[in-house]
């Protein structure tokens, strides 16, 4: 099997406790966003540095997609997770059990193969309920 290729290697890092999403912080005005942008979305400064967003938050919104898009079969879930810093991050959600998690559920970040591109596994972050294995 091929080694997974990161979709965007700048979206996360792995530390001793697991994956941590990384965004960008403006050194001029302090605005922090995800993903990291080349220019601050608040003040326009090009003085951006890497900033940890975190490894989990709470489910803010969730939806199940009932149409295949060619990479994901019908029935996959996506949503926004609200991190303690106030940043909302959109991503795929791995279900745990028969039902999607409810709003406000604690969520964690994991790194997983999301799809294959010409037989190459493509990996990125996704969310899963914190109480799931």
More confident position, 45 or 76 = 45
Strand boundaries in the chain, DSSP class E? 5-6, 12-15, 18-26, 32-33, 48-54, 56-65, 76-82, 88-93, 106-117, 120-129
Pairwise CA distance, residues 62 & 88, whole Å? 12
Question: What tens digit of pLDDT does each residue of 96-122 get?
Answer: 877 778 899 999 999 999 999 999 999
For residue range 56-88, what is the model confidence (pLDDT) as tens digits?
999 999 999 999 888 888 889 999 999 999 999
3, 61, 50, 60: which is closest to 22 by C-alpha?
50
Q: What is the pLDDT of residue 131?
A: 87
pLDDT value at position 108? 97
Does pTM surpass 0.95? no
Parallel, antiparallel, or unpaired for β 56-65 and 76-82?
antiparallel
């Amino acid at each position: 099997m091929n080694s997974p290729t990161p979709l965007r290697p700048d979206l996360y890092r792995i530390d001793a406790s697991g994956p941590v999403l990384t965004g960008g912080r403006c050194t001029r005005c302090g605005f922090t966003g995800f993903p990291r942008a080349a220019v601050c979305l608040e003040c326009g400064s090009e003085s951006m540095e890497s900033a940890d967003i975190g490894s989990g938050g709470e489910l803010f919104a969730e939806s199940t997609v009932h149409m295949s898009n060619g990479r994901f079969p019908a029935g996959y879930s996506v949503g926004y997770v609200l991190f303690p810093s106030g940043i909302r991050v959109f991503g795929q959600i791995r279900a745990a059990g028969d039902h999607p998690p409810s709003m406000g559920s604690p969520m964690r970040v994991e790194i997983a193969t999301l799809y294959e591109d010409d037989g190459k596994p493509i990996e990125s972050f996704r969310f899963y309920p914190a109480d799931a294995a």
